[in-house]
Structures are given as C-alpha cells and as structure tokens.
Amino acid sequence: MQIMLVGGGKLVYHLAKRLIAKGYFVVVINKDEIYTKELARELNATIVCGEASDKDILEDAGAFRTDVLVALTQKDHDNLFICKMAKEYFGIERTTSIVNNPDNESLFKKMGINGIFNLTELLSSLIEQNVVSEDIRNLVTLEEGKLSVSQIIIPEDAPAAGKKVRVINLPLSIVLGGIIREGNVIIPRGETVIKPGDKVLVISLPEDQALAIRILGGEN
C-alpha cells in the first residue's frame, strides 16, 4: 500500500517512520527544500519537494498509484483542496486530514473527506480527561464519532469490582473489549471476574459512555 503524506514538522516525520516500520510505501510532499533534504537522509521513503496543491507535483509524486492521502498542513484550505483534488482527479478513495479550525470540520465532512481529525477538539478532550479524572480516559472515536473506545480503571469500591462479567447489567450497546491486568491482556468472557485496578476497555455508543462509567466504575 502506498501512503502519501503532505506537510511537515515532527508529526509527518514520526508518522512516516511508523508507517515505514509497518511495511507501507510512503511518499512525503513538502515545499521546504531544507526540510525535504533532511527527510531524504532520515527516511526510507520517496521525498518530493513542491506544492502539493499543484496537480503536476501530485502526479509526479505518484498520486495515481496512491491508496491513501493524508493532508497535514497548517492551513485548512490547503488540506481541503489537496484532498478534494486527490479524490476527484487522481481517484484516491481514502483521504484523511487534520482540521486546525474547529469551525471548518463541517465543510470537510460535506466534501467527503474520509478521516477528519479536529486538533482543537482532540487536544481539549485529552487535557480535560487529565484534569478531571485519572480513572477514565477516552482513547479514540471511530466512524466520525459514532463509536467510542474508552479505558476505565476500576476502583476498589466500584460496583463492578469482584463481579463476573455475566452478572453485570450492561446494555447490548456497551461491549467490554478487553481487560489489562498487571500488564497482561485478558479477553473478557462471561465468567471473567473484574478486579480493582483492572483497566477495562469499553466500546460503546458515545451517548452510552456515561452509563458504562456508572455501571463499571461508579462515577457520576
């Protein structure tokens, strides 16, 4: 699979390293000549210096052979234009972009961008979790926020502590995806006992997340 990254900075560098380590063929496009020379020395990837909003640059970089394009520039209008051109001209079905201004997220959705990462919302959520609670953490949202994956650390006095999964009254919309206990991962079954200190991965609809927290951890 070929993945094209557009943008610069540490985010692009580290993302490219992770993708290359997993065996993907990576192409990076950036307009800064010095930065692209540095990337060429550091990464086993195709590095292209130029404006990704230029159709000829995208074509020369191999857009017609690209499976996924990820737009990571600091300008939302550039990200949107690049993703739109990638889909409509080069036939790249999967496009992902960061959104720097939260007010622009609806426009990205309207234009059919597959993956949208609202940086302000993500950072605000992470900071809020760190400030408000040490026992509950939102790990990720899927399908544009339609599905939530959370981690709940079970306190000593939690309603679920010491109980088997089968006797906990969880709605069908809430699924226990795994339990991390003393560094080991347990796939929960009906007879699995939840213990204090367990890190329980919860998959739920966003509107049912608070209910899952109350049932498992006792938080209001």
Nearest-5° Cα angle at 71, 67 to 72: 135
> Taking the alpha carbons of 19, 20, 23, 28 in that order, is the dihedral positive or negative?
positive
Q: pLDDT grade, residue 29 (50/70/90)?
A: very high
Q: Which CATH architecture has domain 131-217?
A: 2-Layer Sandwich (3.30)
* pLDDT tens figures, 75-90: 999 999 999 999 999 9
Span 102-114, average pLDDT: 85
Cβ–Cβ < 8 Å for 70, 5: yes
Q: What is the pLDDT of residue 146?
A: 66
* CATH code of domain 2-119: 3.40.50.720
Q: What is the pLDDT of residue 7?
A: 92
What DSSP assignment string belongs to the chain? -EEEEE--HHHHHHHHHHHHHTT-EEEEEES-HHHHHHHHHH-SSEEEES-TTSHHHHHHTTGGG-SEEEE--S-HHHHHHHHHHHHHTT---EEEEEESSGGGHHHHHHTT-SEEEEHHHHHHHHHHHHHH-SSEEEEEEETTTTEEEEEEEPPTT-TTTT-BGGGS---TTEEEEEEEETTEEE---TTPBP-TT-EEEEEE-GGGHHHHHHHHH---
Q: What is the pLDDT of residue 213?
A: 83
Cβ–Cβ < 8 Å for 146, 160: no
Parse the chain into domains and list their residue ranges: 2-119, 131-217
More confident residue, 148 or 64: 64
Cβ–Cβ < 8 Å for 5, 28: yes
CB-neighbour burial class of residue 220 (10 A; exposed 0-12, middle 13-18, buried 19+): exposed
* pLDDT tens figures, 158-188: 899 999 998 998 888 888 888 888 888 888 8
131-217 has the same fold as 2-119: no
